[in-house]
Amino acid sequence: MTDIVFNVAVGKVRWYVQQAGVGNAALIAVPLENTGLVADATMRDYATLSALLAGASNEQTTLGRKTITSATDTVNNTNDRWEGDIADLVWTTPSGNQVGAIVICFDPDTTGGTDADLIPLTKHGWVMTPEGDSISAPVADFVRAASSA
């Protein structure tokens, strides 16, 4: 489940989820190191991945990013909410520094561009020390939105 939705994506997350796999668009999962991870109140203000990584937070590059080209877009009338879901994120032989979070970004064109083009959508707290055994990140129903009465 989502810890935060970035301010730049509030009100648009469903559209971004619907674009995954359309043309060259995709969602990108970026693991962040636990050390130096900024507070949610600071993190939610970043409008691009490059801005986020230019701050105190560092990408955990040994794991590597995951490209997501398929996402489920579900209106849940029973629970009065919308749900965006992606397949489990699996790393088979993880190594490197401890992970503190995963940020899911929208990439409008995976064939070019830079981190300045990636729009951070959600942040998921996930403290994990890579030890070589296969791991799966807990991001099922990675984002939900509900109306308030």
SS3 of residue 41 by DSSP:
helix
The tokens of 42 are what? Answer: 């600071």
Assess contact for 89 and 137: CB atoms under 8 A. Answer: yes
In this structure, how many other beta carbons lie within 10 angstroms of the beta carbon of residue 47?
A: 14
Residues 72-97: tens digit of each pLDDT: 888 888 988 888 899 989 999 999 99
3-state SS of 103-144 is EEEEECCCCCCCHHHCEEEEEEEEEECCCCCCEEECCCCCEE
pTM equals 0.92
Looking at residue 137, its amino acid is: A
- Encoded tokens for 82: 């919308």
For residue 137, the model assigns a pLDDT of: 87
DSSP 59: B
Nearest in space to 97 (alpha carbons), one of 32, 51, 40, 49: 32
Task: Give the residue from 38, 39, 35, 15 showing the smallest Cα distance to 121.
Answer: 15
4-58 pLDDT, tens digit each:
888 888 789 999 999 999 999 999 999 999 999 999 999 999 999 999 999 999 9
- Domain locations along the chain: 4-146
Average of per-residue pLDDT across 134-147 = 80
**Is residue 122 left, alpha or beta, with left meaning phi > 0 and alpha meaning psi from -120 to 50?**
beta
Q: Which of 61, 43, 34, 53 is nearest to 126 (CA)?
A: 34
- Nearest 10 degrees: CA dihedral of 37, 113, 15, 59? -10
pLDDT tens-digit map of 51-68: 999 999 999 999 999 999
The chain-wide mean pLDDT, for the chain, equals 91
Is residue 54 within a helix (H) or strand (E), and if so which, with residue range? helix 49-54
